[in-house]
Amino acid sequence: MSLSLSIRKRFGDFTLDVALEAGEERVALLGASGCGKSCTLRCIAGVETPDEGRIVVNGTTFFDSERGVNLSPQERKTALLFQNYQLFPNLTVEQNVCAGMDRRLTAEERRRQARAFLGIFGMEGFADRYPARLSGGQQQRVALARMIAARPGIFMFDEPFSALDSYLKGALEQNLLDVFDVVKATVLYVSHDIDEAFRFCDRICVLDAGHVAEVGPADRIVNHPATLATLRLTGCKNTSRAVRVDAHHVRALDWGMTFATREEVPANVAHLGVRANYIHRDARHGENSFALTVARTSDSRFERVVLLETPEGNPARRIQWKVSRVDVPEERMPHAGEVLTLHFDASRIHLVCA
C-alpha cells in the first residue's frame, strides 16, 4: 500500500501546494484551521480537483494533469471519514455498512459481513435502526464499520472526534486503534491536536499556509522541531525571536533573557522555544535561572497556568508556565504578584533556524 502525492490548487489568494510520499503507515496531517489539511484529503478522494499535479495510490493513478487522468470518486475506492460521519439517513445501520461493499458479493454475504464488521464495534444489536435513532458515538462506530467494510485502498480521517465529548472521544479512540491494528494500508489522519496526532500516527506532516513545513517521525517532530510553524503546532506556548551569543548561549530578544543551551547554537538561529511544562522552581540562582514575577494565574482541573512577566515587560510576550495541582497544597502553588526563581533546562530549549 502506498501514496504518492504532488498537487497544486488555487483558491483565490490561497494556494495549496503539497507533496507527500507514504507507505503502509499512519501519517498525520497537522496544522491550524485553513492550512489545507482537509482540502488535501478531498483532492485524494476526488471531491476536489487539483489545478495540476499527480496522485497515485497503490500503483493506480487517480489524477495526473499532464496525462489528463482524473478518476471519479467512485473509481478511486477511497474511504474518507468526516467529523459528521455522513451516514445515509434513509438506510438502516446494516444497509449503511453494506452500501460501500463490493457489488459482486451476494446480498446475503454483504449482510453477513456487515454484521461481522458491526460486531467489531459492539453495534450488531443496532443493525435494524436508522441513524437518527443513534447517539453521536454510535453513529461514529457505524461509520467506522462501513469504512472497513468497503475495503478501500487508502483510509482518510478528517478530525473524526472533534464534535464528541471527552469521555466518548476516549472510548472511540480505542476503537480506532483497534481498526489500525487490523488495517494494512496507508492511513491519513487530519488533526490540529498534536497529542491526537502523536497517539495515532507513525509520522507527522506539518502543513502551514498550504505548504508542507516539515515531515518526519512523530517523536522527532515533537522533540526536535525544525521550523517555527512546527514548534508552535506541537504545543510550544513560549516562542521568541533569537540571536546567537556564542556556541552555547542564545538571546531571547522578545523576553530580554539569555539562555545556556546543551546543543550548539547555529549561526542562523532565528527563534527559540520553551515548553510550558519544562520550567521549574529553583533556589540556586544559577545559569538559566531567573527571578520572574507572576502576572496572572488560571486553573484547570489538574494544573495551574501561570503567566510570567519577562525582563522586557511586554504583556504580549509573557511566558506561560504550567504547574501540576495534583496533591499540591494551595499555599505551595504560585500566586499573582509573587516573585519566583525559575529554572529553564538547557536540554529543553528548542532552537529553530531561519
Q: Point out which residues pair with 259 in neighbouring strands.
A: 250
Sole residue written with cell 508552535: 232
- Domain boundary among the residues 194, 228, 262 is at 228
CATH of residue 347: 2.40.50.140
Same domain, 219 and 264: no
pLDDT at 64 exceeding the cut of 70: yes
In percent, the amount of the chain with pLDDT more than 90 equals 75
Buried/exposed 289-298: b ≥16 CB within 10 Å, e otherwise: bbebebeebe
Q: What is the pLDDT of residues 239-285, one digit of tens each?
A: 999 999 999 999 999 999 999 999 999 999 999 999 999 999 986 77
The predicted model gives 287-299 an average pLDDT of 95
Tell me the pLDDT band of 186, cut-offs 50, 70 and 90: very high
The cell numbers describing 343, all together, are: 529554572
The predicted model gives 190-196 an average pLDDT of 90
Lowest-confidence segment of 13-17, 79-83, 326-330 by average pLDDT: 79-83
Same domain, 156 and 202: yes
- What total of structural domains would you count in the chain? 2
The one-letter code for the residue type at 86 is Q
Neighbours of 333 (CB within 10 A): 15
Same domain, 280 and 224: no
Average model confidence (pLDDT) across the chain:
92
- Domain boundary among the residues 201, 228, 255 is at 228
Tell me the pLDDT band of 167, cut-offs 50, 70 and 90: confident
Same domain, 11 and 136: yes
Q: Which has more confidence, 120 or 349?
A: 349
pLDDT at 188 exceeding the cut of 90: yes
Tell me the pLDDT band of 62, cut-offs 50, 70 and 90: very high
The residue segments making up the domain with residue 111 are: 3-228
Same domain, 224 and 241: no
The predicted model gives 14-32 an average pLDDT of 96
What's residue 84's pLDDT?
Answer: 67
Sole residue written with cell 503502509: 24
Q: Which has more confidence, 194 or 284?
A: 194
Are the CB atoms for 17 and 5 separated by under 8 Å?
no
92 CB-near residues (< 8 Å, 6+ apart): 127, 128, 129, 130
Indicate left, alpha or beta for 159 from its phi (over 0: left) and psi (-120 to 50: alpha): left
41 CB-near residues (< 8 Å, 6+ apart): 29, 80, 156, 158, 188, 190
Same domain, 220 and 243: no
What's residue 298's pLDDT?
Answer: 97
Q: Residue 128 and residue 180: Cα distance in Å, rounded?
A: 27
The predicted model gives 326-337 an average pLDDT of 95
pLDDT at 169 exceeding the cut of 90: no
Q: Residue 45 and residue 36: Cα distance in Å, rounded?
A: 14
The one-letter code for the residue type at 37 is K
DSSP 8-class letter at 101: S
Are the CB atoms for 93 and 118 separated by under 8 Å?
yes
DSSP 8-class letter at 331: G
The one-letter code for the residue type at 27 is V
CATH of residue 12: 3.40.50.300
Same domain, 193 and 80: yes
Residue 348, φ and ψ in degrees, nearest 5 = -110, 10
Same domain, 212 and 276: no
Tell me the pLDDT band of 1, cut-offs 50, 70 and 90: low
What's residue 120's pLDDT?
Answer: 83
- Domain boundary among the residues 208, 228, 248 is at 228
Q: What is the pLDDT of residues 107-143, one digit of tens each?
A: 999 999 999 989 888 899 999 999 999 988 888 889 8
